[in-house]
C-alpha cells in the first residue's frame, strides 16, 4: 500500500497485474488494495458454443467515462486487437458465433436492399406505364379534336353557303328575302 501511495503522490503511472485462480472472485485482491487503484481492467475467458474467446472490461475507472461492456480481444501478430462490441438477441457474441451472426446480418441486409430495389423498379415501371397511357390519351384527344375542328369548319362553311345562296336567290327574285341574321 505504501508503494502505491508513493507512486500516486509523485504522479507516477504504474501498471500492476494479478493472477487469479478459477474459483476466486475477480473483484478483489489478496492484499485488498482495490480502493487505491484508479483503473481496474479484468480479462476473462468467454465460452460460447464450445469455443473459448478472450474478453476485457473495465471494472472501475475513477474520474472518466468508460464502457460497461465486455469487449472481445484477439492476440495477433500485430499485437492485441479489440473487437467492436457485438450485441445480438442472445447477448454479447464473440468468436465464430459473432462471425456467423455478422454473416447472417449481411445476408439479411442484402435481401432487404434487393427488396427495396425491386420495389423501386416496380414503381418506375408503373410510372412509365402511366406516362405512356397519358401520351396515348393525349394523342387520342388530339385526333378527335382535329376531326371535330374539321367537321365544325365544314358545318360553318355549309351554313355560310346556305346563307349566301338564299341571299343570291333573293336578289335574283327581287324580293326582300331572309337576312343572314334570321337564319343564324
Query: pTM to 2 decimals?
Result: 0.47
Note whether residue 74 is domain-resident.
yes
| Counted domains in the chain | 1
Beta strands in the chain (DSSP E): 39-48, 51-61, 71-76, 79-82, 87-88, 91-92
List, for residues 43-98, the tens digit of each pLDDT value.
888 887 788 888 888 888 888 888 888 888 999 999 999 888 777 676 677 778 78
Residue-range definition of the domain harbouring residue 15: 2-22+29-84
List, for residues 105-159, the tens digit of each pLDDT value.
899 999 999 999 999 999 999 999 999 999 999 999 999 999 999 999 999 999 9
Note whether residue 67 is domain-resident.
yes
Note whether residue 45 is domain-resident.
yes
φ, ψ of residue 48 to 5 degrees: the values are -140, 125
Note whether residue 126 is domain-resident.
no
d(CA 148, CA 129): 28
Note whether residue 12 is domain-resident.
yes
Note whether residue 108 is domain-resident.
no
Note whether residue 143 is domain-resident.
no
Amino acid at each position: 500500500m505504501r508503494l502505491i501511495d508513493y507512486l500516486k503522490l509523485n504522479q507516477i503511472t504504474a501498471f500492476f497485474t494479478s493472477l487469479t485462480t478459477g474459483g476466486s472472485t475477480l473483484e478483489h485482491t489478496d492484499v485488498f488494495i482495490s480502493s487505491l487503484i484508479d483503473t481496474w481492467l479484468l480479462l476473462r475467458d468467454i465460452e460460447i458454443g464450445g469455443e473459448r474467446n478472450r474478453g476485457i472490461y473495465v471494472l472501475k475507472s475513477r474520474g472518466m467515462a468508460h464502457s460497461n461492456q465486455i469487449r472481445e480481444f484477439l492476440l495477433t501478430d500485430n499485437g492485441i486487437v479489440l473487437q467492436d462490441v457485438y450485441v445480438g438477441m442472445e447477448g454479447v457474441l464473440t468468436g465464430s458465433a459473432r462471425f456467423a451472426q455478422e454473416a447472417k446480418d449481411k445476408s439479411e441486409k442484402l435481401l432487404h436492399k434487393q427488396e427495396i430495389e425491386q420495389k423501386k423498379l416496380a414503381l418506375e415501371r408503373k410510372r412509365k406505364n402511366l406516362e405512356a397511357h397519358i401520351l396515348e390519351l393525349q394523342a387520342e384527344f388530339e385526333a378527335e379534336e382535329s376531326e371535330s375542328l374539321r367537321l365544325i369548319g365544314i358545318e360553318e362553311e355549309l351554313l355560310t353557303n346556305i346563307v349566301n345562296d338564299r341571299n343570291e336567290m333573293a336578289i335574283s327574285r327581287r324580293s326582300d328575302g331572309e337576312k343572314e341574321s334570321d337564319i343564324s
